[in-house]
Amino acid sequence: MKITDQLLKLSGTLAVHLDRSEATISNWVVGHARLFSRLRADLGCNTDTAEKALNWFDKNWPADLAWPADIPRPSKSKRAA
């Protein structure tokens, strides 16, 4: 799964869980509401933004929500290393 697909899945899952829009989640993650709409439009983002977003999800993921099994979680990779 591409990193953009992973970020869209994480944002969509979290948005539903918290009953918030993806624009709100995007604002929390990167400070503006356009990240996930850009990814949906296949406009992409730079690698620093993608890494920042993935790390934000890892650090801020709710304890009462299972992390998607098909997306490697960064903190688990660091523990294994």
The answer to whether residues 29 and 56 touch, using CB atoms and an 8 Å cutoff, is yes
User: Per-residue pLDDT tens for 34-75?
Assistant: 999 999 999 999 999 999 999 999 999 999 999 999 999 999
Q: Which residue has the tokens 């979680």?
A: 73
Whole-number Å distance between alpha carbons of 53 and 57: 6
pTM above the 0.85 mark? yes
> Using H for helix, E for strand and C for coil, what is the string for 26-70?
HHHHHCCCCHHHHHHCCCCCCHHHHHHHHHHHHHHCCCCCCCCCC
